[in-house]
């Protein structure tokens, strides 16, 4: 599972208790902060895997705040959440800024718990209406696309040459190319080195060397 620490950044203290309970039930260690200074302190000392930022934590500038956090802390995963209704365009702004998942406390507890379990496995979540918008815009990955068993097998070997992958899995080079193209589309990436970095980031491979083969 790796580091499962979470920092919740929220000014809506009355909502945090509900979110804390759901996160802890899912196996997360939770730290709560309601101001920027404490948030930065916790990120630097706890080194969380995720931060859950309430959509109005920085008021109307939350999306720019998300981008700054991601640019500053390269290994941090940002999850946005809200207790209110937001339009697809409003939610899409957070994904454009680099957030990886989004949910609302108006969702049923069962759905939220399912999302949290996905996060523990290194998967992302994007509401269907936002996913459709992002797909139309073609600006970021479509996060709800699942990799197949074969694609995951190839991804674990992605730091090797295509020929080595084919020989290891007893498949043809054409089959490797086919699955690699599908993975790139599903993950919104453009090259094999990006797949290698993705696999390393999600601890699918230990070798940080990225092949130069495109």
CATH number for the domain harbouring residue 153: 1.10.10.10
pLDDT number for residue 188: 66
With respect to residue 214, please indicate whether it lies within any of the assigned structural domains: no
Q: For residue range 97-130, what is the model confidence (pLDDT) as tens digits? A: 888 899 999 888 888 988 888 888 778 888 888 8
Is 144 a residue whose pLDDT tops 70? no
Do 132 and 172 share a domain, yes or no? Answer: no
Which of residues 139 and 53 earns the better pLDDT score? 53
With respect to residue 50, please indicate whether it lies within any of the assigned structural domains: yes
pLDDT number for residue 197: 84
Residues 158/205, Cβ–Cβ less than 8 Å: yes
Do 102 and 162 share a domain, yes or no? Answer: no
Confidence of residue 203 (pLDDT cuts 50, 70, 90): confident
Do 83 and 173 share a domain, yes or no? Answer: no
**Least confident stretch, 51-55, 76-80, 144-148:** 144-148
Confidence of residue 206 (pLDDT cuts 50, 70, 90): low
On the CB side of 82, how many CA atoms lie within 13 Å of its CA? Answer: 15
What is the SS3 assignment for the chain? Answer: CCCCEEEEECCCHHHHHHHHHHHHHCCCEEEEECCHHHHHHHHHHHCCCEEEEECCCCHHHHHHHHHHHHHHCCCCEEEEEECCCCCHHHHHHHHHHCCCEEEECCCCHHHHHHHHHHHHCCCCECCHHHHHHHHHHCCCCCCCCCCCHHHHHHHHCCCCCHHHHHHHHCCCHHHHHHHHHHHHHHHCCCCHHHHHHHHHHCCCCCCCCCCCCC
Is 9 a residue whose pLDDT tops 90? yes
Q: What are the backbone dihedrals phi and psi of residue 207, each rounded to the nearest 5 degrees, phi first?
A: -75, 120
pLDDT number for residue 181: 87
Do 91 and 174 share a domain, yes or no? Answer: no
Of 107, 137, 167, the position where a domain reaches its end is: 137
Question: Hey, what are 187's tokens?
Answer: 């993950």
pTM score, whole prediction: 0.64
Which of residues 117 and 38 earns the better pLDDT score? 38
Mean pLDDT of 80-91: 88
With respect to residue 158, please indicate whether it lies within any of the assigned structural domains: yes
Mean pLDDT for the chain overall: 83
Do 123 and 64 share a domain, yes or no? Answer: yes
Do 73 and 172 share a domain, yes or no? Answer: no
Of 111, 137, 163, the position where a domain reaches its end is: 137
Please state, in angstroms and rounded to a whole number, the distance separating the CA atoms of residues 46 and 65. Answer: 20
Full strand arrangement of the beta sheet holding 50-54: 29-33, 5-9, 50-54, 77-82, 101-104
pLDDT number for residue 8: 94
Mean pLDDT of 21-36: 90
With respect to residue 107, please indicate whether it lies within any of the assigned structural domains: yes
pLDDT number for residue 134: 80
> Which of 113, 85, 115 lies closest to 102, judged by CA?
115
What is the domain count for the chain?
2
With respect to residue 206, please indicate whether it lies within any of the assigned structural domains: no
Do 117 and 161 share a domain, yes or no? Answer: no
Q: Nearest-5° angle of CA 207, CA 204, CA 19?
A: 130
Q: Containing domain of residue 132, as a range?
A: 5-137
Do 26 and 123 share a domain, yes or no? Answer: yes
Provide the percentage of residues in the chain whose pLDDT is more than 90: 26
pLDDT number for residue 119: 84
With respect to residue 168, please indicate whether it lies within any of the assigned structural domains: yes
Confidence of residue 212 (pLDDT cuts 50, 70, 90): very low
Q: Nearest-5° angle of CA 179, CA 187, CA 107?
A: 130
């Amino acid at each position: 599972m790796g580091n499962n620490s979470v920092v919740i950044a929220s000014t809506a203290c009355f909502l945090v208790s509900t979110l804390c309970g759901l996160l802890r039930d899912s196996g997360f260690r939770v730290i709560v902060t309601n101001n920027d200074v404490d948030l930065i302190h916790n990120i630097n000392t706890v080194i969380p895997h995720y931060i859950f930022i309430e959509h109005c934590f920085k008021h109307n500038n939350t999306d720019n705040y998300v981008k700054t956090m991601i640019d500053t802390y390269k290994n941090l995963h940002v999850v946005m959440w809200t207790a209110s209704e937001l339009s697809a365009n409003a939610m899409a702004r957070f994904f454009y800024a680099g957030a990886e998942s989004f949910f609302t406390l108006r969702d049923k507890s069962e759905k939220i718990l399912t999302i949290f379990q996905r996060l523990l496995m290194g998967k992302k979540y994007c509401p269907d209406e936002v996913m459709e918008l992002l797909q139309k815009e073609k600006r970021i990955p479509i996060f709800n696309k699942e990799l197949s068993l074969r694609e995951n097998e190839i991804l674990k070997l992605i730091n090797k040459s295509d020929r080595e992958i084919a020989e290891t899995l007893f498949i043809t080079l054409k089959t490797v190319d086919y699955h690699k193209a599908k993975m790139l589309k599903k993950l919104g990436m453009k090259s094999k080195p990006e797949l290698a970095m993705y696999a390393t980031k999600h601890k699918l491979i230990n070798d940080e060397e990225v092949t130069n083969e495109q």
